């Protein structure tokens, strides 16, 4: 366990942290697997287990053309020698490095419009007909949450005052809340998703761990989801030079920026210990114009 801690945790320094006497550690989730993105690795664990129990060797799930979840699931299926069908919210002419990888791994891509994409019943039935396991978007559900919980329970991290994590479906943050990882405060950073049901997520977390204080924060200058302002790339490059930590444009860079702003605004209690959860997602940086990022 000591070894896991030393390779997956990194203490980072910044004048801002000194000013408020903060100890800041980063959990380097992007190092968990060479291809499968950080939290997707955790979330897939029990979904794959379920497929094995059901004796199913075909998985169907959905996502956008840069989706870390599609990418991770496609690779996991290839490794297991299973069939994989990706329901992609895009037209059939859409190109992306992520979709290229999927094709190279022999995934079957089904391109659909918004209405079809969000029709859960359709995909559940479709999966039943094909004797495949359907995984909801982002690996959501008990299986996903339990995978995150199991992972953090095995880490034996020291207690922290704050845990900070980027959110999408909220599966990861709920798994963390349900784990033995100790912290009085949980901060979820919302990466600009439209019509996000913040209240529901907060209530879900409160049910899992009533004693924890939860805050969901969104930096409106970083909207919308999947897009990013040019200055974010400069910050990502600076953080890389300073901490040797690569971040992704969709989730983790927004998390780091929101946290830095929270600290600068005096909203993080002096003398606290913080753990930032880097959830991975680096493959998505292939959407960034080449040469703009130094890593």
Ligand X SMILES: *Cc1c(COP(=O)(O)O)cnc(C)c1O
**Span 21-60, contacts to ligand X by CB under 6 A:** 37, 39-40
Beta partners for residue 281, in sequence order = none
85 versus 279: smaller Cβ distance to ligand X: 279
CA distance 178 to 189: 18
Taking contact as CB under 6 A, which single stretch among the options 6-14, 47-55, 93-101, 171-179 is the one that binds ligand X? 171-179
Taking contact as CB under 6 A, which single stretch among the options 45-53, 114-122, 220-228, 246-254 is the one that binds ligand X? 246-254
- We find the least distance from the C-beta atom of residue 173 to ligand X, in angstroms, to be 6
- Is-contact 47 127, C-beta < 8 A? no
Among 85, 96, 98, 171, binds ligand X (CB under 6 A): 171
- Is-contact 227 220, C-beta < 8 A? no
- Is-contact 99 65, C-beta < 8 A? yes
CA angle, 23 as apex, 19 and 28 as ends, to 5°? 130
Beta pairing class for 58-63 and 133-135: parallel
- We find the least distance from the C-beta atom of residue 288 to ligand X, in angstroms, to be 15
Tell me the HSE value of 52 on the side-chain side, using a 13 A CA sphere. Answer: 10
**Interface pattern 56-75 for ligand X (x via CB under 6 A):** ------------xx------
Q: Is 166 in the site for ligand X (CB under 6 A)?
A: yes
Q: Supply 76's token pair.
A: 């996991």
Q: Is 143 in the site for ligand X (CB under 6 A)?
A: no
CA distance 78 to 75: 5
60 versus 164: smaller Cβ distance to ligand X: 164
Q: What is the DSSP letter of 11?
A: E
25 versus 140: smaller Cβ distance to ligand X: 140
Q: Which residue is nearest to ligand X (CB)?
A: 281
Q: Is 167 in the site for ligand X (CB under 6 A)?
A: yes
Q: Is 138 in the site for ligand X (CB under 6 A)?
A: yes
**Span 186-245, contacts to ligand X by CB under 6 A:** none
Beta-carbon contacts of residue 271 (< 8 Å; ≥ 6 apart): 20, 21, 22
Taking contact as CB under 6 A, which single stretch among the options 115-123, 210-218, 256-264, 275-283 is the one that binds ligand X? 275-283
CA distance 140 to 44: 10
109 versus 191: smaller Cβ distance to ligand X: 191
Q: Is 246 in the site for ligand X (CB under 6 A)?
A: no
């Amino acid at each position: 366990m000591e070894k896991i801690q030393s390779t997956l945790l990194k203490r980072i320094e910044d004048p801002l942290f000194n000013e408020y006497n903060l100890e800041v550690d980063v959990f380097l989730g992007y190092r968990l697997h060479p291809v499968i993105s950080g939290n997707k690795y955790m979330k897939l664990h029990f979904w794959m287990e379920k497929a094995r129990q059901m004796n199913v060797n075909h998985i169907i799930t959905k996502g956008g053309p840069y989706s870390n979840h599609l990418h991770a699931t496609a690779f996991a299926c290839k490794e297991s020698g299973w069939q994989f069908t990706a329901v992609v919210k895009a037209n059939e002419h859409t190109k992306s490095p992520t979709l290229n990888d999927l094709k190279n791994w022999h995934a079957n891509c089904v391109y659909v419009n918004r209405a079809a994409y969000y029709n859960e019943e359709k995909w559940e039935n479709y999966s039943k007909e094909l004797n495949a396991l359907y995984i909801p978007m982002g690996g959501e559900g008990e299986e996903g949450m339990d995978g995150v919980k199991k992972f953090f329970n095995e880490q034996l991290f020291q207690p922290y005052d704050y845990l900070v994590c980027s959110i999408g479906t909220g599966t990861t943050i709920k798994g963390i809340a349900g784990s033995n990882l100790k912290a009085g405060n949980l901060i979820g950073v919302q990466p600009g998703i439209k019509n996000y049901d913040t209240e529901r997520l907060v209530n879900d977390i409160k049910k899992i761990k009533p004693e924890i204080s939860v805050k969901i924060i969104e930096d409106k200058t970083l909207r919308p989801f999947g897009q990013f302002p040019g200055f974010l790339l400069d910050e990502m490059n600076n953080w890389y030079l300073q901490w040797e930590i690569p971040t992704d444009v969709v989730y983790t860079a927004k998390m780091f920026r929101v946290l830095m702003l929270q600290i600068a605004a005096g909203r993080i209690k002096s003398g606290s210990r913080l753990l930032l959860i880097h959830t991975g997602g680096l493959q998505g940086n292939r959407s960034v114009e080449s040469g703009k990022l130094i890593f």
